[in-house]
């Protein structure tokens, strides 16, 4: 995290950890207000990698699950990156910031490994990777009044999900809503970031990263962490429903597996929204179980999970369809920690 920005956040009451803001003094209240009011948060827990150069579009198009060539300047999309077996290595939020420049956002815990892995594929292509995690700032905003709060900062606002508007060093992207409109703010100048933060701080509540990730869960937006790399194919996490997967773009690693699943197969496992009691401590990558399942791999696996404001946990999980329909999913093999399961929100 940028040291000047880190000090600024600390002076404004942030309790920090290595990858970003943990909370602003009252985690429970922050989780509660995420459901009912306007919140904003530092997104330093997401790394930002800039991919630029004359061959950048072709390079990303050849690797990712979505149609990079169809992405217009100022628009964004989700993109999976798969192994040849169709298993997801990463999930990037991708913004085309210029004709030959893209911004990739992804969990900071994967920063070093994914950057090195992408570098291996460049070969002689005219592509440059620039880690902008410390030189650019990222802020998330959500709430019923979010649009009015943004109006003095940038006009007009982006109206469609995945569209963006830029002015000077500020880019505002409208992303998938949970209950209320949500926006991603990318800021290239730290002094402007401080001004934006101060402006939002008048009427919205500053929160740590967990309430923001909870909103992603409620919006049905999956993530890929180190604990879940190569665990899912794109359709299992519903990428086709949230502008993250194209079936018409041509070849990329794992494309044959993904296409075969779409046109010839039937998904036996797919993504569900789950809730668990407050007494447990679930994590991304945890195996789920069901008496109705005979799989040696368990009945499912947690994609992401966060504590909510009601004292329980909410998450997304890839689960056997039969186990979800049998309503006997549990967090433990003994069957004592029962989960509730429902279809996730889609775009």
Q: CATH no. for residue 187?
A: 3.30.70.1630
Buried b (16+ CB within 10 A) or exposed e, 33-54: bbbeebbbbbbbbbbbbbbbbe
Question: 52 in a domain, yes or no?
Answer: no
Question: 90 in a domain, yes or no?
Answer: no
> Residue 250 and residue 300: Cα distance in Å, rounded?
30
At 347 the pLDDT is 52
For residues 333 and 201, membership in a common domain is answered with no
At 46 the pLDDT is 97
> Residue 173 and residue 342: Cα distance in Å, rounded?
29
Q: What is the pLDDT along the chain (347 residues), one digit of tens a residue?
A: 889 999 999 999 999 987 789 999 999 999 999 999 999 999 999 999 999 999 999 999 999 999 999 999 999 999 999 999 999 999 999 999 999 999 999 999 999 899 999 999 999 999 999 999 999 999 999 999 999 999 999 999 999 999 999 998 999 999 999 989 999 999 999 999 999 999 999 999 999 999 999 999 999 999 999 999 999 999 999 999 999 999 999 899 999 999 998 887 778 999 999 999 988 999 999 999 999 998 888 999 999 999 998 889 999 999 999 999 999 999 999 989 999 999 877 65
For residues 152 and 210, membership in a common domain is answered with yes
At 332 the pLDDT is 92
Reference 143, options 195, 210, 211; nearest CA is 211
Question: 346 in a domain, yes or no?
Answer: yes
For residues 37 and 141, membership in a common domain is answered with yes
DSSP string, 297-330: T-SEEEEEEEE-TTSSEEEEEEEEHHHHHHT-EE
3-class DSSP state of 187: strand
Backbone angles phi, psi at 138, to 5 degrees: -130, 130
For residues 33 and 175, membership in a common domain is answered with yes
Question: 299 in a domain, yes or no?
Answer: yes
Task: Give the CA distances from residue 38 to residues 130, 159, 203, 215, in Å, rounded to whole numbers and listed in that order.
Answer: 33, 19, 8, 12
Q: What share of the chain is helix, strand, coil (3-state, %, to 5)?
A: 30, 30, 40
The length of the chain, given as a count of residues: 347
At 32 the pLDDT is 94
> Residue 66 and residue 85: Cα distance in Å, rounded?
17
State the pTM of this model: 0.95
The total number of structural domains in the chain stands at 2
Return the half-sphere exposure (C-beta side, CA atoms, 13 A cut-off) of residue 49.
25
At 47 the pLDDT is 97
Task: Give the CA distances from residue 41 to residues 201, 204, 209, in Å, rounded to whole numbers and listed in that order.
Answer: 10, 10, 7
> Residue 334 and residue 81: Cα distance in Å, rounded?
35
Domain range enclosing 289: 268-347
Buried b (16+ CB within 10 A) or exposed e, 138-152: bbbbbbeebeebbee
For residues 297 and 199, membership in a common domain is answered with no
For residues 211 and 277, membership in a common domain is answered with no
For residues 186 and 299, membership in a common domain is answered with no
Handedness of CA 23, 24, 30, 34 (dihedral sign): negative
For residues 317 and 210, membership in a common domain is answered with no
Q: CATH no. for residue 295?
A: 2.40.30.110
At 346 the pLDDT is 62
């Amino acid at each position: 995290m940028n040291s000047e920005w880190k000090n600024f956040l600390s002076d404004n009451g942030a309790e920090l950890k290595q990858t970003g803001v943990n909370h602003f003094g009252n985690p429970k209240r922050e989780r509660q207000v995420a459901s009912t009011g306007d919140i904003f948060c530092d997104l330093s827990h997401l790394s930002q990698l800039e991919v630029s150069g004359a061959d950048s579009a072709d390079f990303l198009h050849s690797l990712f699950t979505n149609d990079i060539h169809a992405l217009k300047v100022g628009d964004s999309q989700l993109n999976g990156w798969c192994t040849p077996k169709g298993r997801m290595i990463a999930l990037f939020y991708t913004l085309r910031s210029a004709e030959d420049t893209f911004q990739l956002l992804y969990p900071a815990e994967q920063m070093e490994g994914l950057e090195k892995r992408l570098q291996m594929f460049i070969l002689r292509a005219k592509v440059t990777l620039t880690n902008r995690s410390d030189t650019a700032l990222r802020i998330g905003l959500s709430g019923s009044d979010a649009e009015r709060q943004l109006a003095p900062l940038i006009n007009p606002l982006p109206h469609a999900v995945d569209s963006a508007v830029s002015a000077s060093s500020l880019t505002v992207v409208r992303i998938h809503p949970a209950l209320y409109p949500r926006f991603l703010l990318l800021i290239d100048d730290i002094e402007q970031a401080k001004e934006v933060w101060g402006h939002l701080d008048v009427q919205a509540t500053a929160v740590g990263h967990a309430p923001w990730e909870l909103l992603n869960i409620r919006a049905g937006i999956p993530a890929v962490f180190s604990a879940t790399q190569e665990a899912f194919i794109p359709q299992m996490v519903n990428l086709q429903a949230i502008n993250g997967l194209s079936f018409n773009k041509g070849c990329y690693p794992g494309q044959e597996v993904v296409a075969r699943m779409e046109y010839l197969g039937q998904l036996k496992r797919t993504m569900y929204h789950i809730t668990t009691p407050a007494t447990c401590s679930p994590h991304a990558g945890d195996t789920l179980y069901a008496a109705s399942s005979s799989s040696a791999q368990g009945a499912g696996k947690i994609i992401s999970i966060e504590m909510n404001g009601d004292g329980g946990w909410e998450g997304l999980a890839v689960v056997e369809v039969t186990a979800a329909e049998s309503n006997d999913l549990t967090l433990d093999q003994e069957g004592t920690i029962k989960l509730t399961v429902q279809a996730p929100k889609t775009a």
